[in-house]
Amino acid sequence: MKSSVLAICLPLVTAVPCSPHVKPNEHVEAPSPFYFTSVFSVVARSEEVVDSNKPFTGGLQGAIGLYNFGINSQSNVICYNITLDGLRGNYQSPAKTATHIHEAAAGKSGPPRIAFPNPEGPESGRRSSIGCVKEPFVMGVKASDKDTGEGFHVLNSSKGNGLFDPQVYKPSLTT
């Protein structure tokens, strides 16, 4: 199994069996029910934010995102655990959601490929989104009359070539 880790690996899953022989607070570790061909963890800081017209926008000062991904390239599935801290305002994007992966190196702009549900949580507090998505990937953004997620395979993002960048979009704030 190929593992590419950029920062922190996805946490192992623990389970507590339903049995009269298990005491409260006694945990039994079990292997993960998921099989990943690659795992990635990315920390995104506000000073790394770019858009399609200029290199760096500066983002929302103090905001940070932690993106954990588990990829099963055989099943064309990507699981995600996305946590955002310090983000204010509502999400806004021409894509299906404002939370997605672009095919671009960090610090560059490129077409969106995989959309994730926008992280939920309190205004200016911790927001999170956890789950898995499977092909077909639909972005709601077209290039050359084709959705930018159409035909995309997670194997492209699991090669560890650094050409994929997770991003979350929000409206510009004047405060």
Query: Would you state the pLDDT for residue 120?
Result: 94
State the Cα–Cα distance between residues 119 and 102, nearest whole angstrom. 17
pTM comes to 0.69
Tens-binned pLDDT, residue by residue, of the chain (175 aa):
433 333 223 332 333 333 334 444 444 455 666 789 888 888 887 766 656 665 655 566 778 889 999 989 889 999 999 999 988 788 888 888 888 888 877 666 778 889 999 999 987 789 999 999 999 999 999 999 999 899 888 877 555 444 555 556 554 333 3
Q: What's the CA dihedral at 110, 118, 149, 40 to 10 degrees? A: 70
Q: What is the DSSP string of 60-95?
A: STT-EEEEEEEEETTTTEEEEEEEEES--S----SS
Structure tokens at 169: 């979009």
